[in-house]
Amino acid sequence: MSQPIDNLFGMHTGALALWQRRTEVLASNLANADTPGYLARDIDFKKALAAAGGSGDGSLPLAAPTPGQIDPVAQARDTLAYRVPTQPSMDGNTVDAQQEQAAFAANGVHYQASLAFITAQIRMLRTAITGGQG
């Protein structure tokens, strides 16, 4: 039984877009670490990925930029939440630079893992198509 082409890479294509969006959010937090009143935000990745994968009942309550496409970045916007500060500063800023840097580094590792999986799948397909030649 063959896999549909849109499911060829599994959850990794949606995850890749979510990791990228999270990178932008974390970078914004770091850039505003000294901005008075800035509230740190983050993506609830599990919630966003679950939404991208559907609810399991066959329904997909997703944004579709064009017919047949899923827009995980739009879903990430819906799952963007304020981070609960461990020690908010006196000026109301809730960015913890060390926590943001650690999350940024971990996010980069997750992004690279999804990218490596997709790359491996493409290599495997290329090998299957060419018969290992070229």
Q: Write down the pLDDT at residue 89.
A: 87
- Whether pLDDT at 54 is above 60: no
Q: Write down the pLDDT at residue 57.
A: 40
Q: How crowded is the C-beta side of 50, counted as CA atoms within 13 Å?
A: 9
Q: Write down the pLDDT at residue 55.
A: 44
Q: Which residues contact 28 (CB under 8 A, 6 or more apart)?
A: 41
Q: Which residues contact 62 (CB under 8 A, 6 or more apart)?
A: 51, 52, 54, 70, 71, 75
Q: pLDDT digit string (tens) for 75-89? A: 555 568 888 888 878
Is 104:95 a contact under the CB 8 Å cutoff? no
- The mean per-residue pLDDT over the stretch 47-53 comes to 69
Average pLDDT, the chain: 79
Q: Where along the chain do its domains lie?
A: 3-55+69-131
